[in-house]
Amino acid sequence: MACLAAASDGFVLPDLLQPLDRFVELAGEEFKKRLFLTEGADGEALCLRPDFTIPVCLEHLRAGRDAPSVYHYRGKIFRKRRAVGSPEFEQAGTEWIGHTDEIAADADAFALAVECAGAVGLAPQVRVGDAHMFQALLDALPLPSSWRERLRAAFGDADRLDATLVRLTEIGAPDGLAARLAPALAHVDAAQARAIVDAVVGLPHHGASGRSAEDIAARILEQVAGTEAKKIAAPLIRRFIALEAPLSRAADALAAFAAEAGIDLSAALEEFARRTDALAARGVATDQILFQASFGRRLNYYTGFVFDMVDPARPDAEVIAGGRYDRLMAILEPQKPLPATGFSVWLDRIREPS
């Protein structure tokens, strides 16, 4: 706590009872199954605080602060079906909101996490991932936007991502109206392709299926893109998520993959390399950290660099974990989205010194 306080602008402790709808909206229906539910005096749906990141962000927005801020916290959170430990437990952590130099903020927050581990005698196994690199890969592949969104949303959940890739590879060759439109759509960009399909499916004699024109148009575009995606996109994604390397050599491994695949990941790679250099400049031993291209968070508001640290004696549960979650702030405040990163410490998983 002394480490967190020294790096912070102030301590914050959000209410123990939180609006249920906010968590379901931001974390999904699946997360709801892990919450302890109740209701307020006026019947409002509430839950026991399951997380600090969302409430701390809401506190920051309610306060109307314009300056970049660093908060630290400590308190109880409550989650059902916890893999390791009691459903009621203490968590500490920090949130960095509004820092426009995202590389520096990522590096500073990670270095602070390393300091916190050292303060309690933890020599952790550390891995990192980067959702931004995965998004750059999706953007470089011949995929319709609907498939990019499905794959992005599945990133970080190995089973869900695998099922999505299986579905992608099972798309059949275009038939019917899609087959007739395929030659024309092959020579235009995505916006023009959508305009052509919308014009065709809007004709009265194509509306007999009972599906909306929007559904029909989306299905035709998926079918037309499916053959190319099956041949190129799915195999490349599987090769990408299999990549692992020490962080000190990860940028080179990613660059070699991009060159071999013939895709341009240069902008994301430059950012990745600069972050690695920033970590090394802060004394982080990047050769002792594992980069896994498949590693992400199941909560899909995480948008970039993520990490976790585990006790080698208990590798089944993270002790410290965090990362960048710019998408969360964009959802909470669309008019003025703010960059944000942070991490949490599961205090009940810190072993007492022997």
Using CA atoms, how far apart are residues 342 and 66, in angstroms rounded to an integer?
A: 18
Q: How far apart are CA 136 and CA 297, in angstroms?
A: 17
Cα 331 to Cα 23: distance, rounded to the nearest angstrom = 12
Helix, strand counts (H, E) of the chain: 15, 12
Complete domains list, the chain, with CATH? 1-121+338-354 (3.30.930.10), 144-241 (no CATH)
Give the closest residue to 335 by CA, choosing from 64, 14, 56. 64
**How high is the pLDDT of residue 227?**
59
d(CA 302, CA 340): 10
Tell me phi and psi for residue 104, to 5 degrees: -65, -40
d(CA 135, CA 117): 30
CA pair distance 119, 223, nearest whole angstrom:
55
Tokens of 306: 């993520």
pLDDT in tens, 278-307: 999 999 999 999 999 999 988 778 889 999
Q: Which of 225, 201, 213 is nearest to 151 (CA)?
A: 225
Contact between 222 and 144 (Cβ < 8 Å): yes
pTM above 0.75, yes or no: yes
Contact 117, 289 (CB under 8 A): no
Angstrom CA distances, 323 to 37, 248, 300, stand at 27, 19, 12
Q: What local confidence, expressed as pLDDT, does residue 300 receive?
A: 76
> What DSSP character marks residue 351?
P
pLDDT for 301 equals 82
Please write the tens of the pLDDT for every residue from 75-114.
999 998 777 778 999 999 999 999 999 999 999 999 999 9
Beta strand pairing call for 88-97 and 45-48: unpaired
> What's residue 105's pLDDT?
97
**Strand locations in 79-214, DSSP E?**
88-97, 125-130
299 in helix, strand or coil?
Answer: coil
What's the one-letter identity of residue 44? E
Nearest to residue 80, comparing CAs of 48, 39, 38? 48
Q: Which residues of the chain have pLDDT under 70?
A: 171-194, 196-231, 353-354
Determine the pLDDT at residue 176: 59
